[in-house]
Structure 1
């Protein structure tokens, strides 16, 4: 829970600094296949175009980030780091030649990881979370398609692909914790009922 809140605080401080200083940090985003764009691999998720962009990414980061730490405490840091870095690297290698900014790629990566981990592990808790992710963020699927030239659909796509790959890589880490109620037999002995026949 600490890391998602720290990350959210950081992206808000960066946006406030932009406003106070009166500059734009968009040039610190990823510009594919240009040396100047390499810094964006680190700074891509930290920079947002405007308040709406920032607000739309804040709650998903909090919800998904908290979910991954709660359900996958052993692998969560590795998964987040891989999604963070490899989404940026893939955007730099393959995306359109324009500045790419925002935490959406990270969000897509976390959502994909949680969804596919739940399915792969057949973990009831993770599947429940996966269904919640699908319910609240099911519209994410359309974000991986080039429907809006102003949106980095490549960041969404590469984030999601990285999340899916992580779900397979880490499928055996964080062993599933069983609860007492799960160990109860399905077919409990039913008490014998006696009654009078008239």
Structure 2
């Protein structure tokens, strides 16, 4: 006998355990500040050696490390609030799903920057992950056909939609490639999540 499994996570807009999710994001954010202190103590060595250097074999490890590094305190401060909020909201499907979403954005976005980014520079910062989370939150409701998630997307767009101009090459000192590829990876993650959460599993 078979029966569809109810899509328990399709309509969530908040994490199932909000206190744990908030603490997780606070610890994650605190780690970024610790890394920035260590980078300053090293004279910027961590930033230079841990960034993504496009098409250079030595820059491949930046795919892993670059979102943890920032060019300055101003850079990190500008990323802090959206990092906390978008990361928290992206945990609506639970910690396991959050890890999958974040890994998809982190790895695919970073790999695309390595493949298609500009020559002769290194790219650092969590903004690629932030754009990925934002894109995920903006489109997941449409893939999941969730009215609540679409309404949340509208609110987020009204507040932060302006940052999406960051996917365009408007500032030579800002990696629009990281923003664009992070956002595209976030859309892919939203599609994968909605597909996985739809009814269709079988029980015997």
Q: TM-score, normalised by structure 1?
A: 0.82
Any idea what SS the aligned residue of 2:24 has?
A: helix
The CA distance in 2 between the partners of 1:144 and 1:23, in whole Å, is: 26
| 1:18 corresponds to which of 39, 42, 46 | 39
The CA distance in 2 between the partners of 1:22 and 1:34, in whole Å, is: 23
| 1:91 corresponds to which of 94, 110, 113 | 113
Query: CA offsets per residue over residues 152-187 of structure 1, 9 Å max, x none?
Result: 0000000011111111122134469xxxxxxxxxxx
| Aligned counterpart, 1:168 | 191
Q: How many residue pairs get matched?
A: 175
| 2:138 corresponds to which of 115, 123, 145 | 115
Any idea what SS the aligned residue of 1:146 has?
A: coil
| Aligned counterpart, 1:36 | 58
Once the two structures are TM-superposed, the CA of residue 141 in structure 1 deviates from its matched residue by 1.8
Gaps of 5+ in 1: 177-198
Q: Cα RMSD over matched residues?
A: 1.7
Any idea what SS the aligned residue of 1:107 has?
A: helix
The CA distance in 2 between the partners of 1:75 and 1:59, in whole Å, is: 22
Kept in 2: contact 1:14–1:46 (CA 8 A): yes
Gaps of 5+ in 2: 1-20, 200-204
4+ runs of 1 displaced by more than 6 Å?
none
